[in-house]
Amino acid sequence: MIWCGVTESCNKPVDGGSEVKLTKWKVKHEMVQPLSGQAIYVVLLRELKRYWRAKARVISSVAQSIFFLAIFGLGLGGFIGGFGGINYLSYMAPGVIGMGLLFGSVFSGVSVIFDRQFGFMKEMLVAPVSRTSIILGKILGGATTATIQGIILMAIAGIMGAFTPSFAFVAGAFAAIGAMLLITSGFVGLGVAIGSTLNDFHAFQLLSTFVMWPMFMLSGVFFPIDVAPLPLQVAMLCDPMFYGVELLRWCLLGAGSPLLGSLGWLISLGVVTVFDALMVGLGTCLFSRAQI
């Protein structure tokens, strides 16, 4: 058992009528929530099982990425050629993998809406485990399934000839898997935060149009930040996914955007880590005060 007080600020009752006077000890007891390894594991396991069984979801997302790589990568690539000595298909590949990660992870976070709608949330909330354990399981599970998706896409891009097989690439691929876990954790956290705030799935469409697509298109998947006009560059620098794609590009191609310089991978790693911490915190916080 690890003791953790992550949700301290969120555990204050939000309902107006909290006339209950709690002693200091009682308040402390409420705030300090024990993490249960088994609870985290079982929530993670459930995510994996559900992912594995939702074959249609996996297939459609993989197919979508293949279309991007084949049609844009090969079609547009023949016209553009490439950027900075990298051919266009290779340039796009990390971005398309990033797309799979982004959509997979945000949606698995947002699935807390479904858990609530279909009642399973109550089963988890009435158990003698903290909400922090549940949400950590959810985030780890979502990150794992999105990363599996990313690995599948990486393999497909490899088969299409996006990467040059070498010893350095194999090492880079492993680094990329680590990067994927890191990137997706933050986005599952974002998804949980959104899912805990929104109350119905009609908001899905809005979420997709106004959050996911801009994030994806500004991530530098189709063009490097250097060729974009200034306002667009600013927007891209504000997009956390941009740093995620940068990081993947460093891992898989060994080079990044000239704008960030030769330490671009370190900057990206830093931004992604900070984003993770913020989003996991925000997700846990909003989930803890969400309604059933």
Partner 1 sequence: MNTINTIEVKELTKIFNGDVKAVDGISFNVKEGEILGFLGPNGAGKTTTLNMLSTLLRPTSGTATVNGHDILTEPDAVRRSIGYVFQDTTLDIELTGRENLDFHGRLYGLERNTRQQRTKEVLELVQLTERADNFVKTYSGGMKRRLEIARGLLHHPKVLFLDEPTLGLDPQTRRSIWEHILHLNQEKNITVILTTHYTEEADYLSKRILIIDFGKVVVLDTPDNLKARLEGDVVTLLFKDPAAIESFRPLLENKDWIRRINVVTSGNNYAAMSRMMQTMPRMPSNIGMGGAMPEMDSINIEGKRTIPEQVQQKSEQDIADKNLQFGGETCSKCLNLLVDKGGHRIPEIVKLADESGIILDSVELRKPSLDDVFLSVTGRNIREEEGSFIDMVRRHRIMQQARGRRVRG
Which residue among 2, 56, 230, 292 contacts partner 1 (CB under 8 A)?
292
Residue 130 CB, nearest approach to partner 1 (Å): 7
Which residue among 69, 106, 113, 124 contacts partner 1 (CB under 8 A)?
124
Which residue among 24, 79, 85, 128 contacts partner 1 (CB under 8 A)?
128
Residue 209 CB, nearest approach to partner 1 (Å): 27
Residue 208 CB, nearest approach to partner 1 (Å): 22
Q: In the window 35-94, what residues touch partner 1 (CB under 8 A)?
A: 36, 38-39, 41-42, 45-46, 49-50, 53-54
Q: Is 123 in the site for partner 1 (CB under 8 A)?
A: yes
Q: CB burial class (10 A; 0-12, 13-18, 19+) of residue 80? A: middle
Which residue among 33, 61, 108, 145 contacts partner 1 (CB under 8 A)?
33
Comparing CA positions, the residue from 64, 162, 158, 72 lying closest to residue 104 is 64
Q: CB burial class (10 A; 0-12, 13-18, 19+) of residue 209? A: exposed
Distance CA 106, CA 186 (A): 9
Distance CA 199, CA 8 (A): 24
Distance CA 95, CA 242 (A): 9
Residue bearing tokens 């998804």: 191
By the criterion CB under 8 A, which residues form the site for partner 1?
A: 7, 10-11, 13-20, 22, 26, 29-30, 33-34, 36, 38-39, 41-42, 45-46, 49-50, 53-54, 118-131, 288-292
